[in-house]
Each structure stands twice: as structure tokens, then as C-alpha cells.
Structure 1
Amino acid sequence: MGSDTSRFIVFIVFSSLLSSVVGGGSGYDPEALNALFRYYANRTLAIRHRTGTSSRVALPSNLSGMEVSVVRLRSGSLWGRGVESEFVNIPPSVRTLPYVKRLAIVYDNLGNWSSKYYHVPGYSLVSPVIGFEVYNYTDLTVGNSSLSVTGEPISIRFPYLETEEKNVTRLKCVGFRDNMSVEFKNMTERGVCVTEKAGHFCIVVPFPPPPSSMPEKKGRDWKWWVIGCGIGAVGLVVSVSAGVAVSRWWRKRKIKDMEKESDSSVALDTFWVRGDHKMPRAPMIRTQPALEHDYVP
């Protein structure tokens, strides 16, 4: 590839150390991960020499879930025709700064590792982090090159966008710079960001506000208050109706008991006193008078 042999061996040892750090879970360093991608992309280009054809980069098993590919181009081809990958579309009229005759573009999709390496304060990632970097093909171990866009911007599409239609207005596209600063980018449509720089990008949404500050809470309290009042009114009507029904039933039962007692008693005759008063009179004497002693002196 045109690089110094001893320098390349040092880079291999350094990359191996990075692999153990990244795979061991002791830390998640995006810069170390990018260096690891360059190393394996460099190995892939050393085997496959076809220009303009994207090649999948084989990663260690402890990085399962990430996807990396690399493509080799001439600068004239990038300027005249552009290049399109699965998620990144670089249109024509784009050149590298500084100018290089041949370049290599390394694409990566961090998949379910995205939130471990990249964070946006106050926001939640709803898409995987998609990245691309441009290097001098002669030696990918050297720093990346900048891009100069004079035509249409570079567009990035995101797979597995985990959001609902109602949250589209809250979607934000962010770009991560080399110093891990965050830059909000424009979005042309759902799931598509535009940029004029290489780097890593993803879609985020703001964290929901705490429940105490949600405007819907007052509305919910008002609805529960109306429902509670309605249930209370219905309960009061039912209680009053039940009380009236029990009272009527008790009065009817009492009257029936009085009528039953009246029917079982002995009826008395009546007679008129002085022509204007009616008095009861027994038809017979139930108990006959008797003297205490038969002998009377």
C-alpha cells in the first residue's frame, strides 16, 4: 500500500491493543473504534484491489452488530460521478482537501452499539449511528481528509428508525465532530440528513419532560374530577331511592300487621247514647259472676 513496513507493524500492535480495550468493555472510545476500523479496512484493501467496488470489512467477533465497508476511488471519479453506498450518497462536484489522486472511503454502521459510543445530552437516539470518513488510499493510518462540496449536499439515510409518525416534528439530526462536539444538521425529510462534512450522524428526539410539567396532567385531573362527581351523584340518587323504597315497604308491612290483628279479634256491637254518640257493647258476658262462698248469712 506504499506505507513504511515498520510503521505498519507498529500500527498493527496499536490496533490490537485497541481491540482488546474496545472488546473488553473497560471503555467506549469513538476515536479508538475509528482507528480499529481503519486498520481492518486497510487489510481489506490490501487483498481486494478493485476500484469503485465497495467491499465488506470483516470485524472481530467481539464487535458483532457493527457493519463496516470500504471503497477505493479516484478523485476524478468522485468529482464527476460521485459515489453512493447503502446509507450515504455523495453527489458529484465533491473533492478532497488536500487533493489526493486516489482515496478510500470507510463507511460504518454501529447498530446496537451506537448509544455506547455516542451521546447527546437531553436527547435519546432513535436511529443507529452512521459514519463515513475519507482517507488517502496510500495510507489509511494517516489522518482523514476534509471534503469540499460545491454542488448538492451529502445525504444520509438511516435504517431502523424507531419512532412514530406523531414524533416526526421532534426529530433532530446531529453530527459528531472529531472532538466529540455535537452539531445539529438539517433534515430534508423523515430519516434523511444533509451535510457537507464527513463524520458520524444519527437521529435523536428530546427526552420527554417530567410528569409534573406535562400540560396533559391538568386535563387528566379535570376529567377524573368530573367522573368522580358523576359517580357520586349517581350513588346519592340510588341511596335516596333505596331509602324511599324501604320506608314504603315498612309502612305497608305495618298496616298489614294491624289489619291482621284486627281480623283475629272479637267484634263488638255498638249502641247509640243520647242519639248522637256511638259506643261499643259486648253481646254477652264472657265471665259469669260467682260468689266467693256459697253460704250467705
Structure 2
Amino acid sequence: MGSKKSCLIIFMVFSLLLSSIVFTGSDTYDTKALDSLFYYHANQTMAQYQTGSLTQVSLPFNFSGMNVFVIALRSGSLWSKGINSSFIEILSKVMTLPYLKRLVVVYHNLGKWSSKYSKVPGYSLVSPVVGFNVYDSSNTTTLSNKKVTLNTTSEPISIYFSYVEAEDKNVTKFKCIKFGGGGLVKINNTTKMNVCVTKTLGSFSVAASSMAKKKRRIWKWWVIGFVAGGVGVVVLVLAGVAIVNTWKRKKIKTMEKESETGMTLDTVWVGGDKMPSASMIRTQPILEHDYVS
């Protein structure tokens, strides 16, 4: 009983240590350490595998959101039937290199952590990072830590993505990204929006050009600026018209006020015309001299 408890404690400590080395910085993962993490936990649950069935692997709590699944197969089954699941499709007539009696396919989906996996200059990821590796399971109690390859010269492998987050669903604008060792990436065209095809193992994602997105954003701001400028011109014109009308009304009121305080003239009819006429003589006539000679 004590030995089992000690083994459990060692397992938990080792798991946490392995989880901690996955992070190389605040924004990215160490991809090799991440593969080692998946392999380690897949190996720990090997006793639960059922040949031909998809089995989910439990990960440490601090990797919540990532999903790992395994499929245990015999080489004969892989050759005759291939693999067809909602994650991956490998057609028949495929064999391992080197030849193995038994193999385990370890499939991973990084989910919400995909953006921290790797950066692709000029592109933004629009799907989760998914991928798979193949290990020798000829020993039914433990996995070999050496990855094996698949002979897929005849037919490619299809990788399915659970979702693609993009406003524009035009498949011609999407690219398949294959992440390689040392931060290397390989970019290929997609045949379908949520499917990438490959002949090699590794991690994959769907990406869209960030330059196209930037151009759309610039064009959007141009449209907004044009509309705002047009509205501004209309507002200025209306304000100018209002100011002119106010000035005219004020001038008319001033003229009316001046006319009211001025002298009022009577009118008389001369012929057929109405003419102003003074009601009184303002200056009385006087003689220039006080006497008349």
C-alpha cells in the first residue's frame, strides 16, 4: 500500500515538472517538451487502451483545454483498413517505417492554447493546432519513446480541424501550416476549409494572411473617414447657412428699429403717385434785418 502511494506521489511530482518545462516564455511553448508531455501521459494510461478504439488521455489541470487521444492498432489493420475518425483519416495500404507489429497513434489538439504554440510571420492562425505522432507499442505494457514514420507515398493523410474562425470563408485564402523542428514552418494550399493533407507526421493548423486582414482594416477606416468627412462638410454647410440667416434677421431688426425711432413723414397724393410730405416746417423764416429801408 505504501509503495503504491509513493509511486503516485512520484508520478504527480514528475508530471508537474514535465509540465513546467513546456513553457519557454510567456508567449510560446517548447514544442519538443510538449510532445514529450503527451507521450508521457499516453504511456501512463496504456493499460486502458483497446485495440482499434479511440481513448482520451488525461492531462495535468494546468493544461485544461488541450485534448489528447490515442488509437492502438496492429500493423495489419492499418494496412487493410487504415484509420478513419473525426480527427484524422489515413487510408489503407499504409505501413510503418520501420515495420512494427503494434503501434499507437497519439493525436493532440491544443485548443485555446494554439496561439502560444508558434508564430507564423505574415499569417494569423484561424484554427487550433492539431497533430499526431506514431510510437511503437510492440511491448504491450509500455510505449517506445522513439517516433516512427508512415509510408504514405500512395495516398496522403487528411487532418480535420474542429473549427475555423474566419469572417471570410473563401477556401482559396486559407493556407495549411505544418510546424517543423526549430521553428520551421511549411505553407501549403488547402483543399477544403477545415482539412489539411500531408504525407508526414507533425503539428498542423489553418492560417489566413494577416496582410489581407490589415488591408481590410485600412479600407474600413477609409470608409469611416470618408463618411465622417462627408457628415462634417454637411454640418459645416448647415452651420454656415444658419449663421448667415441669423445675421440677416439681426440686420433687418436693426433697420426696423432705426426706422421706428426716425421722423415720420406724412404722405400726399400728387397726380397718381403717393409722395412723402413734411407735416410742419421745422425752421421758421426770419428777416435778415430788424428794419426795412
2:150 aligns with 147
Listed as ranges, the gaps of 5+ residues in structure 1 are: 1-10, 268-277, 283-297
- Which of residues 259, 276, 293 is equivalent to 1:255? 259
Note the aligned Cα RMSD (angstroms). 3.5
In structure 1, the residue matched to 2:180 is: 177
Letter in 1 for 2:232: G
Identify the match of residue 199 of structure 1 among 199, 202, 210. Answer: 202
Tell me how far apart the structure 2 counterparts of residues 239 and 13 of structure 1 sit (CA, whole Å): 79
Residue 39 of structure 1 aligns to a residue whose secondary structure is helix
Residues 239 and 245 (structure 1 numbering): CA distance in 2 closer, same or farther, change over 3 Å?
A: same
Structure 1 stretches (4+) deviating beyond 6 angstroms?
11-16, 23-27, 278-282
Is the CA contact 1:133–1:199 (under 8 Å) kept in the aligned structure 2?
yes
- Where does residue 97 of structure 1 map in the other structure? 97
Matched with 1:67 is: 67
TM-score between both structures, scaled by the size of structure 2: 0.73
Identity of aligned residues (%): 42
Separation (CA, whole Å) in 2 of partners of 1:83 and 1:241:
82
Alignment match, 1:44: 45
d(CA) in 2 for partners of 1:103, 1:171: 33
Q: CA deviation at 1:150?
A: 4.0
- Please list every run of 5 or more consecutive structure 2 residues that lacks an aligned counterpart in the other structure: 1-10, 267-276, 282-293
Report the residue type matching 1:56 in the other structure. Q
Alignment of 1:272-291 (within 5 A): none
- Relative distance call for 1:93 and 1:40 in structure 2 (3 A) is same
| 60-69 vs 100-109, which moves further | 60-69
Higher deviation after alignment, 138-147 or 60-69: 138-147
Distance change (3 Å), C-alpha of 1:79 and 1:104 = same
TM-score if structure 1 supplies the norm length? 0.72
Q: Is the 8 A contact 1:171 1:203 kept in 2?
A: yes
Cα distance, 1:39–1:247 mapped onto 2, change above 3 Å:
same
Alignment check: 8 A CA contact 2:111 2:128 kept = yes
Instruction: Rate the CA distance shift 1:14–1:96 in 2: closer, same or farther, 3 A.
Output: farther
Aligned pair count? Answer: 256
The structure whose Rg is larger is 1
Letter in structure 2 aligned against 1:248 = I
Select between 222-231 and 27-36 the one with higher mean Cα deviation: 222-231
Write the distance in 2 (CA, Å) between the matches of 1:33 and 1:51.
25
